[in-house]
Structure 1
Amino acid sequence: MAVEYRCCEASFFIHIGIIVLLVLFAGLMSGLTLGLMSLSLVDLEVLAKSGTPQDRKHAAKILPVVKKQHLLLCTLLICNAASMEALPIFLDSLVTAWGAILISVTLILLFGEIIPQSVCSRYGLAIGAAVAPVVRVLVWICFPVAYPISKLLDLLLGDGHEALFRRAELKTLVTLHGNEAGKGGELTHDETTIIAGALELSEKKVRDAMTPLSKTFAIDINAKLDRKLMQEILDKGHSRVPVYYEEKTNIIGLILVKNLLSIHPDDEIPVKNVTIRKIPRVPGDMPLYDILNEFQKGHSHMAVVIKQSNLIQQTSNNVDDLRLDIDSQKTNEGSMKTTNPIRRWKSYPDSQNTYRSSSRGKKWSRDAEASVLQIHDAPLPKLNEDEEAIGIITMEDVIEELLQEEIYDETDVQEDQ
């Protein structure tokens, strides 16, 4: 009788130990299902590259396990289901059938679902990294059953689970990370504003940032640089002034104010006798990112916006050499006469105005005379109605759209006071 009692007692404790292990194992599988599957590959890659040193180690351990998400999901669910199904079998030998069901449901609900999922939802990264070797072993054990199911899920649902944010979602995410949102973010107001402006810049066109021609200061090419006009140019405070011919909608070039320093107002030199630089002409529906890239090339920091709808920038994915094409023809004397001063940004494989890439920037090698408008005594052209200027856009206008704030120079401050 003593031996039989000892055997029963040993069997009782063995069953209790197995029940405890099954509950803990089921809880671990349930917690890992929530903890690991809630971590997307994008989140893990971000943590592995730019997280804290501890998060980098954890993400590096978890990434190889989570890459095949459907296989991991099937493995965890199979192990969880197996442990929960085995639990009533061992409880049935200790208590009655209804007692085994009641106890198993209580244990699984409390210790196998609620507590593990609560803990893993908060510390899923650390727990997942700690048990990653165990999960690898379970994947190989359940591979004959889990792999076919995972392949079926890949076929039906697809195997891509990279949850990338759309542009609007990124903007909202950046706003929530600002310190003004009150959620513990560390981004300042200026940082969130600039990031949001950069995200919105691709949706904006030239017409959204241009200065209308009615508000633009421009001078007639036939005007004289007398004291009154020179004073007006200085009062405006611009570094570049557009030049038009006959009508303000016919912008043919620009002058640099610094080139007027050597001119005496009493000489009343005509505007057409000073250096007039060519000015690009762009359509109103041109994206701001495109014109910003062109401004960076150094051709010009000012462009004329025209209402022509068929003027399209021809781009290529991997074409780096761009130049400005000026339609021109030679006069009888051999000089160049501009017949159509519309400048188009085009791509050429063998351009003279190419740049050389360096480790610290781009250096342009081009003829300075190529950007000067050759007038001489030739009659200036008139543009078609569909090529009339409707506004002016400068690099400052694009930067203001990027910063989403006005940039005030010294002249602006004086006018506001």
Structure 2
Amino acid sequence: MVFVGVLGVGRAIRSMVGDEPSPYMQPWWWIWAGISVCLVLFAGIMSGLTLGLMSLGLVDLEVLQQSGSDEEKRQATRIMPVVQKQHELLVTLLLCNAAAMEALPIFLDDMFNEVVAVLLSVTFVLAFGEVIPQAVCSRHGLAIGADMIWLVKILMVICWPISYPVGKILDHLLGHNDSALFRRAQLKALVSIHGREAGKGGELTHDETTIIRGALDLTEKTAMDSMTPIESTFSLDVHSKLDWEVLGKIMARGHSRVPVYEGSPRNLIGVLLVKSLLTVRAEAEIPVSAVSIRRIPRVPSDMPLYDILNEFQKGGSHMAAVTKPKTKKKNAHANDLNGDDKPETTDTNAEADLERGVSDQLHEYESKLFEENGDDFDDLSDGEVLGIITMEDVMEELLQEEIVDETDEYIDVHKKVRVAAAAAHHVTRGGSMLVRKVGSLRYPQQMGLSKQGQQAVNKIRQVEKDAREEQLATNGLNGDTLTLPLLNDQ
């Protein structure tokens, strides 16, 4: 109606001034030209805002509000209330753009003949009403939309009788597009695209993209995927002696925690902290059961790694036994802990009496702990132990890389990929525990041994040499000569 009114006023002015030989010298011609320019610019603004505002999703604006610069936060906050009415906004912008496009030929037709009017209309609308505005707003849609938001609000009020009902109909038919969230696989692909290696200007390094992808995959991985099989785990029998040989193996392994079992390696009863052995004397050969043994948590093999990580973060333990899911048998467990299946021992052996006393205390502690936390812990005898999982295993899955320290022999236990340093050490290592026990006899002449003693030491050395050659030939024995400098001279 506004355009029709303006057109009527212009024609009245034209009739008053009459026909002139040169229309370019008449006032009405310049009024028509000014209106045509304004219509082209208005159509261009509506076209650019349609692309700029409608391309800004609610998720994009929320991200800018939380993590953008101060200017971006201000702009996103101004745009958010308008963009939330997506269909009403779309109808308003398209309605105004269509009105300007349809009114332009009316004025051009009075200024030029039909052919020139059509050519000028198509040229100006295409160049200044579509291409240039959309090209600019596609790159700077947020800034332009924030600066022109006042005009959009005015137009939404003017077009409300048409845009509001049409927008509601579109909402009912198409639904609200409140958020366009990415799926897990899409997020991983998006992170990879933003990496420097993709060559698209991303700022994320290789380590950052790897860790993010590992964090997204951690939910889908279970304890079975990251555990160390029980066959590849170094563990100790609860009744074994802490002599020089056992302590040497513990030190050679370099672990801070060693699982403890009773009878079979799959019957884990706890974990031994290596630091608790600092005051243990190898000459005493005390049993493992006499040392403080901590209870080892048990997790089912199908437990997600995130849940295991949460359990580790509670501080109870950084090692857990992975078991097959199985129905609990609390009554049977209570009977076992009460001593129904205790191993038989004789009273004639004092050392056996000591082991039995410590074992009874251990069973009593486990029984009390189970009664207090029966719902939090799995039955010790419930479920077959498949392997061991540690905090390091979970972190390796998160980092997507193997964590190798100076004591590791394999990079990947499952694939038997050896560490380069461990492979070199495996070739050069040698020696036996027998020679360590008689380390003071390495120099028999200095010790003043007899001829028979020297012959005995030489025989021991020959045995050591044969054992070293056998190790080099088989290339499969696990030596422990890392402890030689510590255990040589007792």
Q: Give the counterpart of 2:324 among 285, 301, 307.
A: 307
Structure 2 partner of 1:225? 242
Output the CA distance in 1 between the equivalents of 2:385 and 2:153. 67
5+ unaligned residues in a row in structure 1: which ranges?
Answer: 312-325, 349-370, 372-380
Using the TM superposition, give the Cα deviation of residue 404 of structure 1 relative to its aligned residue in structure 2, in angstroms.
1.1
Using the TM superposition, give the Cα deviation of residue 131 of structure 1 relative to its aligned residue in structure 2, in angstroms.
0.8
Q: Give the counterpart of 2:387 among 385, 388, 391.
A: 391
Output the CA distance in 2 between the equivalents of 1:241 and 1:277. 10
Using the TM superposition, give the Cα deviation of residue 160 of structure 1 relative to its aligned residue in structure 2, in angstroms.
2.7
Structure 1 partner of 2:314? 297
Secondary structure at the aligned position of 1:336 is classed as helix
State whether residues 280 and 343 of structure 1, in contact with CA within 8 Å, keep that contact through their aligned partners in structure 2: no
Which residue identity does 1:336 align to in structure 2?
E
Structure 1 partner of 2:412? none
1:4 and 2:48 matched: no
Which residue identity does 1:204 align to in structure 2?
K
Using the TM superposition, give the Cα deviation of residue 66 of structure 1 relative to its aligned residue in structure 2, in angstroms.
1.2
1:223-264 Cα offsets, whole Å, 9 max, x none, are 111111111011111011011111111111111111111111
Q: Give the counterpart of 1:166 among 183, 194, 203.
A: 183
Secondary structure at the aligned position of 1:60 is classed as helix
Structure 1 partner of 2:270? 253
Output the CA distance in 2 between the equivalents of 1:189 and 1:343. 49
Once the two structures are aligned, what percentage of the paired residues are identical? Answer: 56
Secondary structure at the aligned position of 1:108 is classed as helix
Report the CA distance shift for 1:283/1:27 in structure 2 as closer, same or farther (over 3 A).
same
State whether residues 280 and 344 of structure 1, in contact with CA within 8 Å, keep that contact through their aligned partners in structure 2: no
Larger radius of gyration: 2
Structure 1 partner of 2:397? 401
State whether residues 333 and 380 of structure 2, in contact with CA within 8 Å, keep that contact through their aligned partners in structure 1: no
Q: Larger strand proportion, structure 1 or 2?
A: 1
Using the TM superposition, give the Cα deviation of residue 305 of structure 1 relative to its aligned residue in structure 2, in angstroms.
0.4
State whether residues 269 and 380 of structure 2, in contact with CA within 8 Å, keep that contact through their aligned partners in structure 1: no
Q: Give the counterpart of 2:225 among 208, 212, 217.
A: 208
State whether residues 305 and 393 of structure 1, in contact with CA within 8 Å, keep that contact through their aligned partners in structure 2: yes
Output the CA distance in 2 between the equivalents of 1:38 and 1:342. 59
Using the TM superposition, give the Cα deviation of residue 57 of structure 1 relative to its aligned residue in structure 2, in angstroms.
2.6
Report the CA distance shift for 1:346/1:35 in structure 2 as closer, same or farther (over 3 A).
farther
Structure 2 partner of 1:71? 88
State whether residues 328 and 336 of structure 1, in contact with CA within 8 Å, keep that contact through their aligned partners in structure 2: no
1:271-316 Cα offsets, whole Å, 9 max, x none, are 11211111111111000000100100011110000112568xxxxx
Secondary structure at the aligned position of 1:279 is classed as coil
Using the TM superposition, give the Cα deviation of residue 102 of structure 1 relative to its aligned residue in structure 2, in angstroms.
3.6
TM-score, normalised to structure 1's length?
0.81
Structure 1 partner of 2:45? 28
Structure 1 partner of 2:103? 86
Structure 1 partner of 2:67? 50
Report the CA distance shift for 1:2/1:279 in structure 2 as closer, same or farther (over 3 A).
closer
Structure 1 partner of 2:455? none
Structure 2 partner of 1:362? none
1:192 and 2:192 matched: no
Using the TM superposition, give the Cα deviation of residue 327 of structure 1 relative to its aligned residue in structure 2, in angstroms.
6.0
State whether residues 30 and 76 of structure 1, in contact with CA within 8 Å, keep that contact through their aligned partners in structure 2: yes
Which residue identity does 2:139 align to in structure 1?
R
Which residue identity does 1:4 align to in structure 2?
G
Using the TM superposition, give the Cα deviation of residue 74 of structure 1 relative to its aligned residue in structure 2, in angstroms.
0.7
Structure 2 partner of 1:120? 137
1:410 and 2:417 matched: no
**Which region of structure 1 is more displaced relative to structure 2, 283-292 or 98-107?**
98-107
Output the CA distance in 2 between the equivalents of 1:309 and 1:403. 31
Output the CA distance in 1 between the equivalents of 2:226 and 2:370. 21
Output the CA distance in 1 between the equivalents of 2:404 and 2:150. 60
Structure 1 partner of 2:411? none
Secondary structure at the aligned position of 1:243 is classed as strand
1:360-400 Cα offsets, whole Å, 9 max, x none, are xxxxxxxxxxx9xxxxxxxxx9836xx11011000111011
TM-score, normalised to structure 2's length?
0.70
Using the TM superposition, give the Cα deviation of residue 221 of structure 1 relative to its aligned residue in structure 2, in angstroms.
1.1
Using the TM superposition, give the Cα deviation of residue 101 of structure 1 relative to its aligned residue in structure 2, in angstroms.
3.5
Report the CA distance shift for 1:152/1:107 in structure 2 as closer, same or farther (over 3 A).
same
Report the CA distance shift for 1:217/1:141 in structure 2 as closer, same or farther (over 3 A).
same
Report the CA distance shift for 1:175/1:262 in structure 2 as closer, same or farther (over 3 A).
same
State whether residues 34 and 120 of structure 1, in contact with CA within 8 Å, keep that contact through their aligned partners in structure 2: yes
RMSD value over aligned CA atoms? Answer: 3.0
1:22-41 Cα offsets, whole Å, 9 max, x none, are 11111111111111111111
Moved over 4 A (4+): 5-8, 326-335, 337-348
State whether residues 280 and 342 of structure 1, in contact with CA within 8 Å, keep that contact through their aligned partners in structure 2: no
5+ unaligned residues in a row in structure 2: which ranges?
Answer: 1-14, 340-359, 409-418, 425-490
* Equivalenced residues, count: 370
